[in-house]
């Protein structure tokens, strides 16, 4: 699915009373479960991700963004535009100049954009790419002598599939992620040993085990299974949950570090705790850097600025409710 498709399905999922789980993507204001009871942009939204990235950039630039210039190079779609309001709010708060540069789909031609970036001389480029746009950006940055260690992308620009095709041009590039790469996570090592070691795996290329996108799939499975487990705790063990029951379960997740350890998923993804008024549950990312062969974490879990970002999506959700004639739920009455 995609952010654009999730926008189209939000009303329908509520009408059908079927939860719409958007893990690491989707409409940010759906974090407000009082207005969007069946929409779950789980783990971290694009706006909180953008805020967390800028927190990391601020540290890299000596603890202040005042007077700095940041380029936001983005896919000209709902996905790319979703983070703009957060970038603008951060620019106003931190007193840096924000230069917004869109790239038309599919993004395999970025000559004019990178000519402008070279002219702007930014301190950092925050990059929201997709597909072929990602390797194109890295190669074009190299041609324009822009240092890749001054580029940091969203999690959809931070897989092996994004950097390997760019070759040497990708080395030093950084990206945010809501799950780590590698086989050091016990559950990933167990899958390789128990499933693929027994010849029961369904991937032809076992080298994909431990990659960012493979581990993201396992992370999504953790969230899905834990939601079912939570629902069955309330509605009956072994019971097939209906849409309303699954909605309750997704809204009452509490995946602690202790629970992740018990699942063999320590540090695979951040702790998740959802509620009626918080369908995101985390708001944290890690920053990873491509060393030419693998992704290496260069930060711990970084949380976006909730004080700044949450009022933005709350206001957007309330406007949506007004336009649609929705009466928001009273979250204080939810159990």
Please write the tens of the pLDDT for every residue from 234-246.
Answer: 999 999 999 999 9
274 domain-assigned: no
The predicted structure's pLDDT at residue 4? 77
236 domain-assigned: yes
Q: 124 and 226 share a domain? A: no
Digit-coded pLDDT (tens) for 276-295: 999 999 999 999 999 999 99
The predicted structure's pLDDT at residue 1? 61
Q: Give the domain extent around 244.
A: 182-269
Digit-coded pLDDT (tens) for 245-266: 999 999 999 999 999 999 999 9
Count of the separate structural domains present in the chain? 2
The predicted structure's pLDDT at residue 334? 84
277 domain-assigned: no
- What is the mean pLDDT of the segment spanning 283-310? 98
The predicted structure's pLDDT at residue 3? 76
Q: 206 and 322 share a domain? A: no
Q: 205 and 308 share a domain? A: no
Residue 183 has pLDDT above 90, yes or no: yes
- What is the mean pLDDT of the segment spanning 223-241? 96
Name all contacts of 108-113 with Cβ < 8 Å and 24+ positions apart.
108/132, 108/133, 108/136, 109/136, 110/136, 110/137, 110/140, 111/140, 113/73, 113/140
Domain endpoint, select from 269, 291, 312: 269
Residue 141 has pLDDT above 70, yes or no: yes
Q: 192 and 95 share a domain? A: no
Q: 63 and 167 share a domain? A: yes
Domain endpoint, select from 224, 242, 269: 269
Q: 47 and 196 share a domain? A: no
Q: 56 and 93 share a domain? A: yes
326 domain-assigned: yes
Domain endpoint, select from 269, 295, 319: 269
Q: 69 and 169 share a domain? A: yes
240 domain-assigned: yes
Task: Tell me the three-class secondary structure of the chain, residue by residue.
Answer: CCHHHHHHHHHHHHHHCCCEECCCCCCHHHHCCCCCCCEECCECCHHHHHHHHHHHHHHHCCCCCCCCEEEEEEECCHHHHCCHHHHHHHHHHHCCEEEEEEECCCCCCCHHHHHHHHHHCCCEEEEECCCHHHHHHHHHHHHCCCCHHHEEECHHHCCHHHHHHHHHHHCCCEEEECCCCCCCCHHHHHHHHHHHCCCCCCCCCHHHCCCHHHHHHHHHHHHHHHHHHHHHHHHCCCCCCCHHHHHHHHHCCEECHHHHHHCCCCCCCCCEECECCECCECCEEEEEEECCCCEEECCCCEECCHHHHHHHHHHHHHHHHHHHCCCCCCHHHCC
Residue 40 has pLDDT above 90, yes or no: yes
Q: 226 and 158 share a domain? A: no
Q: Which of the four pLDDT bands, split at 50, 70 and 90, describes residue 7?
A: confident
Q: 27 and 99 share a domain? A: yes
CATH of the domain at 113: 3.40.50.2300
275 domain-assigned: no
- What is the mean pLDDT of the segment spanning 140-155? 98
Q: 173 and 24 share a domain? A: yes
Q: 227 and 95 share a domain? A: no
118 domain-assigned: yes
Digit-coded pLDDT (tens) for 66-112: 999 999 999 999 999 999 999 999 999 999 999 999 999 999 999 99
């Amino acid at each position: 699915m995609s952010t654009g498709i999730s926008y189209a399905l939000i009303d329908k999922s509520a009408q059908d009373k079927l939860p719409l789980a958007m893990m690491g993507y989707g409409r940010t204001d759906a974090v407000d479960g009082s207005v969007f009871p069946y929409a779950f942009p789980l783990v971290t939204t694009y706006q909180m991700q953008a805020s967390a990235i800028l927190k990391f950039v601020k540290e890299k630039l000596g603890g202040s963004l005042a007077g700095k210039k940041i380029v936001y190079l983005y896919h000209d779609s709902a996905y790319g535009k979703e983070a703009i309001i957060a970038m603008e709010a951060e620019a106003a708060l931190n007193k840096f100049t924000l230069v917004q540069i869109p790239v038309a789909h599919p993004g395999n031609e970025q000559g004019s954009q990178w000519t402008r970036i070279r002219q702007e001389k930014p301190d950092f480029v925050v990059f929201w790419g997709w597909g072929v746009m990602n390797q194109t950006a890295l190669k074009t940055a190299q041609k324009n002598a822009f240092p890749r260690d001054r580029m940091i992308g969203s999690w959809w620009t931070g897989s092996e599939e994004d950097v390997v095709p760019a070759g040497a041009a990708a080395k030093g590039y950084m990206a945010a992620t809501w799950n780590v790469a590698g086989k050091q996570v016990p559950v990933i090592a167990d899958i390789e040993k128990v499933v693929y070691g027994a010849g029961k795996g369904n991937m032809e290329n076992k080298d994909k085990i431990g990659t960012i996108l493979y581990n993201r799939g396992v992370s999504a499975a953790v969230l899905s299974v834990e939601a079912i487990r939570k629902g069955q705790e309330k509605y009956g063990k072994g019971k097939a949950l209906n849409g309303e029951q699954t909605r309750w379960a997704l809204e009452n997740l509490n995946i602690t570090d202790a629970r992740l350890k018990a699942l063999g998923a320590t540090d695979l993804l951040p702790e998740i705790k959802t509620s009626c008024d918080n369908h995101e549950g985390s708001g944290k990312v890690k920053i990873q850097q491509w060393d030419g062969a693998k992704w290496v974490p260069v930060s711990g879990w970084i949380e976006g600025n909730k004080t700044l970002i949450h009022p933005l999506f709350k206001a957007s959700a309330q406007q949506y409710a007004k336009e649609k004639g929705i009466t928001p739920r009273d979250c204080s009455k939810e159990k």
